[in-house]
Chain A
């Protein structure tokens, strides 16, 4: 996949070449070619670095380890893929993570999306303050959010478990959703709503038939991002999970000094393929839409 990172041709991209005047002195052109090559090479190196651990994870999902740690290469096998759910503690933890992510993303997308709608459509008192409150969780280290939620639940005698994890996950997702959707709505032509309503459409119907389809890509992107954040979170979750509930990252972290079975790599590859699939569907829909309009 990283093969696409190379710009093999020494000439710059067409868009830039088109705008270059023909009487450009040669040395600068030469220098530009050289800098293009160095940048292209750098991109190769960075992509190799970015993907090295991913390739290791995928490769080790096909490894047959000798001990409890699937960290040294021994032998190729398809066994792990044939039995991805053989380790019940990892399977259960992954199911918990998926449930947490599903509930949290749903709540965060709805309430975050509504906030973004209010923020980008209306001018109102206290808008600046609301902006600050939305941004604050993103500039607060996870360890502080986790520990403050822990103190709140502890002080109020709230039982730690699934609900407290969902509360925490909605919290760190809702700001991401609000900001992502808000960014997508910037410059949205609210006159379209007026046009629909002038033609006799009710406000609610206008929202569902005019506004919502237009902001849907932004909402979908925000939901996908929230899903990735939720399913991957360790630090905040470890503070609010309690003893009885274990998410997938928690299970890996707690067990990594004891064992790393190959199922870990198999499940990680599955999660990667799943999110890649979602991204691909999104990209395909955008392309299709662009082709039909």
Chain B
């Protein structure tokens, strides 16, 4: 290819760091430094239960205390997020495939339509689900009219004829609210696939399912991996869905951290819990990054 030398990168001069410094400074001051403060407070003791004070004394036991006190919510958060992520793949992959290969001239319009719901407030969308799934809502009415309550209870879609206040509702809300972050990266990776490669695959394998499994699926895996990170991380940390669609038995780790910080003012315990949560997620992300490289995550 002629002129490739023109697109190659320049050697950086002092000016490069000048371009970088405002953004980098912001990220260091307000992301890395606060992480240090969080860790410091996580290792502190709260001497007076009634005051928001703390004294730093390397109190490592805060971490084990946090895990043993909130293990249920930790498991629940990762469990709900995992199920929601799998559902996002199940729902999003076929749609992304449709958009990439079968949507024809409507492709860009349909792709834009995926984004539209996410330009409405997250909270109001979730409240709308509360209306749709609520006791006076259309879904429950429909199920009751058709006398299907027993069936939906049996399928664990409802419990005692209600959608709300169940883990299913919370997982459904998480799936809905983060599915766009799954559809878009999968679409991007599918769209990159050369159309000639598809033809070759079709000629090579008699059964279309084999062509898909051997050619298309492996090429789209980076998109699935990126989508998994983009849905799993926010879903695990979210507590709005659990708060609006669930009940006391569906509370997730986010609402415990929120409560410890903002209601109980127990900063050391809250910081320890927050730090553990982040450590688990970061370990997972690093594992991913090791497999894929940061370029894939950025794309």
Contacts and interface: CB of A to CB of B under 8 A. Distances in A.
B20 A190 contact: no
B7 interface: yes
Nearest to B120: A272
Given A228-B118, A252-B123, A275-B119, A137 B132 contact: no
A31 B205 CA distance: 14
B204 interface: no
A143 B109 contact: no
Given A121-B10, A123-B9, A190-B6, A256 B278 contact: no
A191 interface: yes
B96 to A, nearest CB: 10
A171 B31 contact: yes
Interface residues of A, number: 111
A54 interface: yes
A143 B237 contact: yes
Given A54-B116, A135-B294, A249-B121, A147 B240 contact: no
A178 B113 contact: no
Contact of B282 (A12, A125, A139, A264): A139
A175 interface: yes
A212 interface: no
B16 interface: yes
Nearest to B175: A49
A135 to B, nearest CB: 6
Interface of A is mostly: helix
Contact of A144 (B102, B206, B277): B277
Interface of B is mostly: helix
A244 interface: no
A141 B232 CA distance: 10
B16 A122 contact: yes
Contacts of A71: 127, 130-131, 134, 136
A179 interface: yes
Contact of A189 (B7, B26, B261): B7
B28 A133 contact: yes
Interface in A1-52: 1-2, 4-5, 7, 12-16, 19-20, 28, 31-32, 35-36, 39-40, 42-43, 46-47, 49-52
A228 B134 CA distance: 28
A276 interface: yes
A238 interface: yes
B150 interface: no
Given A124-B12, A139-B285, A239-B261, A248 B121 contact: yes
B79 interface: no
Interface in A124-177: 124-125, 128, 130-137, 139-145, 147-152, 154-155, 167-168, 170-171, 174-175
A49 B124 CA distance: 16
B131 A141 contact: no
A269 B5 CA distance: 49
Contacts of A133: 24, 27-28, 31-32
12 contacts: A1-B113, A40-B98, A43-B98, A50-B114, A52-B128, A118-B17, A133-B28, A135-B294, A168-B30, A189-B6, A235-B239, A239-B261
Interface of B: 3, 5-7, 9-13, 16-17, 19-20, 22-24, 26-28, 30-35, 37-38, 40-41, 52, 91, 94-95, 97-99, 101-104, 106, 109-110, 112-132, 134, 136, 176, 179, 195-196, 198-199, 202, 206, 208, 229, 233-234, 236-240, 244, 253-254, 257-258, 261-262, 267, 270-271, 274-275, 277-278, 281-282, 285, 294, 297-299
